[in-house]
Amino acid sequence: MIDSGTALFRSGDPATSLFAVRQGMVKTVHLTADGHERIIGFHVPGEVIGIEAFSSDTYRCEAIAVEHSVCCELPLPQQSETLQVQGLLPAIVDLLGTAAIPKPPIARGLARERVLRFLQDHGERLRRRGLNGERLRLTMSRSDIANFLDTRVETVSRILQQLHREKAIHVQGSTVELIELPPIDTAAS
Amino acid sequence: MIDSGTALFRSGDPATSLFAVRQGMVKTVHLTADGHERIIGFHVPGEVIGIEAFSSDTYRCEAIAVEHSVCCELPLPQQSETLQVQGLLPAIVDLLGTAAIPKPPIARGLARERVLRFLQDHGERLRRRGLNGERLRLTMSRSDIANFLDTRVETVSRILQQLHREKAIHVQGSTVELIELPPIDTAAS
DNA sequence: GGCTTCGGTTGATCTACATCAAAGCGGAGC
DNA sequence: GCTCCGCTTTGATGTAGATCAACCGAAGCC
């Protein structure tokens, strides 16, 4: 149970646990050399973060709650033999393997495509966890979304309004309902 | 041993093997719904691709040689027990874990930053494999680079020339020598 | 040799989006 | 209730880079 803005772990911390998000939302972030945030992803209930703990002795990014959240710490036994004895390795291979599946990047192409892909992906991930994927609670700030999509707050706001006017979505503050997302036809070659 | 343009595997193919690049260069690619290429990455000798085979029964991207290349197929035993008996699982956890480490995206920010990050990353990866990381052979086409960086051929060309004029790099066709890469100060907030 | 093709470079123009600026709006504290 | 402050929205202007177009050199072919 952590407050908005609190870190589950920071880049460089000794990595000894996984964390499962149970409620709320957690963002993972890289800090650039000159101290700027680059948001890697937003994690919804059911997702596990900190899996670099398996191959690195320190965490490689920051995990920060975006709203009041509940997380579950899963300490790792130090000896990999212990895992083997417990028969957990296949499960771990599955967890890591799933994370290693190459995914098409969200933040590519026109700003509108990025926002659409973001909404689609977010809904998808909720659905996969058995949650409602049509009524999204985007509890992260607009500027977090902009950062993630490599664009600007104003642009995110304008595009959400535009989609709202087109009746593709219904925006009300942090709540966004997906009515009928238009196809994402990548304009470029 | 495969020719430029040949596929090692395609998205949807049954995934039964890993592939290690020995010589040359292989690109991994996603095809969008409307049939456009989105290049995920370029792989240099020593790197292993197709690791989604561990958790998916089909490959999730295309792997295509960018030049005449030599690759080594590593078939996977179908039974995960076999792996367990052979004591290979820890090695696999390491391989997958390394792939699961969250990495800062290359294609973000201004076009110049992207190109610099690309050159830096490419050199880094060669060095990690014991190869020369200062003298790069960018055997993929400029338009492949542009695709990967989510920009255009003309922009890539202009920025490489610009860096050449600044004597940060030395460009001669597909060969690029890194003289002294300027720091990548992410202009944006 | 000359001709074509194809990848790369260079220049001129156009546009999506960043930037700058100001005004809503909702929640916290009083 | 009212004020303050941070987040969001909306509008006006500037710019990085996309687009359009021409050109160049190397490779293949007749």
DSSP structural state of residue B54: G
User: Which stretches does DSSP call E strand in A76-147?
Assistant: 135-137
Is the pLDDT at B151 greater than 70? The verdict is: yes
Nucleotide at minimal C1' distance from the A110 CA:
C16
Mean pLDDT, chain A, rounded, equals 91
Is the pLDDT at A117 greater than 90? The verdict is: yes
Note the pLDDT of residue B81.
Answer: 63
Q: Higher-confidence residue: A144 or A189? A: A144
Sign of dihedral through CA atoms A179, A108, A51, B56? positive
Q: What is the mean pLDDT of residues B3-10?
A: 92
Note the pLDDT of residue A94.
Answer: 82
Query: Does B97 contact chain A (CB < 8 Å)?
Result: yes
Strand C proximal to B156 Cβ, under 7 A: yes
Strand ordering across the sheet containing A175-178: A135-137, A175-178, A169-172
Note the pLDDT of residue A1.
Answer: 81
Alpha helices in chain B (DSSP H): 80-86, 89-100, 111-128, 142-148, 153-165
Report residue B18 as tokens: 């890993």
Is the pLDDT at B165 greater than 70? The verdict is: yes
Q: What is the mean pLDDT of residues B73-97?
A: 75
Q: What is the mean pLDDT of residues B59-72?
A: 94
The span from the CA of B79 to the CA of B77, in Å, is 6
The span from the CA of A188 to the CA of B136, in Å, is 28
Q: What is the mean pLDDT of residues B92-105?
A: 88
CB B148 within 8 A of CB B110: no
Q: Of the candidates A38, A100, A183, which has its C-beta nearest B52's C-beta? A: A100
Q: What is the mean pLDDT of residues A124-131?
A: 95
Note the pLDDT of residue A8.
Answer: 94
Strand C proximal to A111 Cβ, under 7 A: yes
Q: Which of A23-32, A86-95, A117-126, B50-59 has the lowest mean pLDDT?
A: A86-95
The span from the CA of B34 to the CA of A44, in Å, is 29
Q: What is the mean pLDDT of residues B110-120?
A: 97
Q: What is the mean pLDDT of residues B118-124?
A: 97
Note the pLDDT of residue A25.
Answer: 96
Asked if B104's CB is within 8 angstroms of A100's CB, the reply is no
Distance in Å from D4's C1' to A141's CA comes to: 20
Q: What confidence tier does B77 reach under pLDDT thresholds 50, 70, 90? A: confident
Give per-residue pLDDT as tens, A55-89: 899 999 999 999 999 999 999 876 666 666 666 77
Distance in Å from C11's C1' to B62's CA comes to: 36
Q: Give the residue from B107, B119, B126, B121 showing the smallest Cα distance to B46.
A: B126
The span from the CA of A105 to the CA of B86, in Å, is 36
Is the pLDDT at B90 greater than 90? The verdict is: no
Note the pLDDT of residue A79.
Answer: 65
Residue B71, CA atoms < 13 Å, CB-side half-sphere: 31
Q: What is the mean pLDDT of residues A158-175?
A: 95
pLDDT > 70 in chain B, percent:
93
At position B75, the amino acid (one-letter code) is P
Q: What confidence tier does A93 reach under pLDDT thresholds 50, 70, 90? A: confident
Query: Does A102 contact chain B (CB < 8 Å)?
Result: yes
Note the pLDDT of residue A136.
Answer: 95
Question: Which pTM value belongs to this model?
Answer: 0.92
Note the pLDDT of residue B51.
Answer: 93
- Cβ neighbourhood burial of A165 (10 Å; 0-12, 13-18, 19+): exposed
Nucleotide at minimal C1' distance from the A149 CA:
C17
Strand ordering across the sheet containing B37-43: B7-9, B62-65, B26-31, B37-43
Residue A73, CA atoms < 13 Å, CB-side half-sphere: 11
Note the pLDDT of residue B91.
Answer: 79
Is the pLDDT at A188 greater than 90? The verdict is: no
Give per-residue pLDDT as tens, A32-58: 988 899 999 999 999 999 999 988 999
* Centroid of chain to Cα A135: 17
Is the pLDDT at B74 greater than 70? The verdict is: yes
